[in-house]
């Protein structure tokens, strides 16, 4: 089986409720590898682009307000059947329809405050990876080990610090 990627976003409610660590643990327990991560307070424009297919839905204004109400944590995962495994970990879009062992079944409050967004297909994952991590994923999807050289310029804004830059800061 070939490795694939998926994108997930720990939404503002997950950050506020300090559940990001649990979200990461659940994905790792399913055998997925975290290959990119970014803490980010998304702009209205970014959320509008991400949820373009939901823009005409009656709940969109509430979703937009919620998604821009605080920081989120964007993540890229790699593994066999990454999208499918990610969807299993997350659960149904409606928390009451989700398996109790899924993130939404265990922690989500409602359809809007649903803790985490996850890609529904590899094509959607790639589009979301490029949207949230344009400097890393635009063009061909690079393998996880394809990181910038040690002397490559670092992000100027702390919110855009790459995972490996963070690791270098700790060293």
Looking at per-residue confidence, does 10 or 151 come out higher? 10
Average pLDDT over residues 52-76: 95
What pLDDT does 149 receive?
41
Higher pLDDT, 169 or 99: 99
- Over residues 61-78, the mean pLDDT reads 97
Q: Which of 6-10, 25-29, 87-91, 139-143 has the lowest mean pLDDT?
A: 139-143
> What pLDDT does 67 receive?
96
Enclosing domain of residue 125: 3-170
Tell me the per-residue pLDDT of 80-129, one tens digit each, with 9 for 90 and over.
Answer: 999 999 999 998 877 777 888 899 988 888 888 889 999 999 999 999 99
What DSSP letter does each residue of the chain carry, written as one string? --EEEEEEEE-HHHHHTT-HHHHHHHHHHTT-EEEEEEEE---HHHHHHHTGGGTTSTTHHHHHHHHTSS-EEEEEEEEETHHHHHHHHH--SSGGGS-TTSHHHHH--SSSS-SEEE-SSHHHHHHHHHHH-HHHHSSSPPPTT----TTSPPPSSGGG--HHHHHHHH-
Residue positions annotated with a catalytic role = 117
State pTM to two decimals: 0.78
pLDDT at 46 over 80: yes
pLDDT digits (tens, 9 = 90+) for 130-167: 999 998 888 754 444 333 444 444 444 333 344 444 34
Using the predicted structure, report yes or no on whether residue 63 has a pLDDT greater than 70.
Answer: yes
Which CATH number belongs to the domain containing residue 30 in this structure?
3.30.70.141
Number of domains the chain is built from: 1
pLDDT at residue number 32: 97
């Amino acid at each position: 089986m070939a490795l694939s990627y998926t994108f997930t976003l720990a939404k503002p409610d997950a950050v506020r409720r300090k559940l990001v660590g649990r979200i990461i643990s659940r994905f790792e327990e399913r055998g997925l590898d975290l290959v990119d991560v970014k803490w980010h307070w998304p702009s209205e424009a970014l959320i509008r682009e991400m949820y373009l297919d939901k823009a005409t839905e009656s709940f969109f204004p509430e979703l937009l307000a919620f998604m821009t109400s605080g920081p989120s944590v964007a993540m890229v995962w790699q593994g066999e059947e990454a999208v499918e495994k990610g969807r299993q970990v997350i659960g149904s879009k409606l928390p009451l329809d989700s398996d109790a062992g899924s993130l939404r079944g265990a922690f989500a409050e409602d359809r809007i405050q649903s803790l985490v967004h996850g890609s529904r297909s590899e094509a959607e994952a790639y589009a979301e990876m490029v949207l949230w991590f344009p400097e890393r994923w635009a063009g061909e999807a690079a393998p996880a080990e394809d990181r910038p050289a040690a002397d490559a310029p670092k992000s100027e804004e702390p919110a855009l610090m790459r995972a490996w830059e963070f690791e270098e800061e700790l060293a």
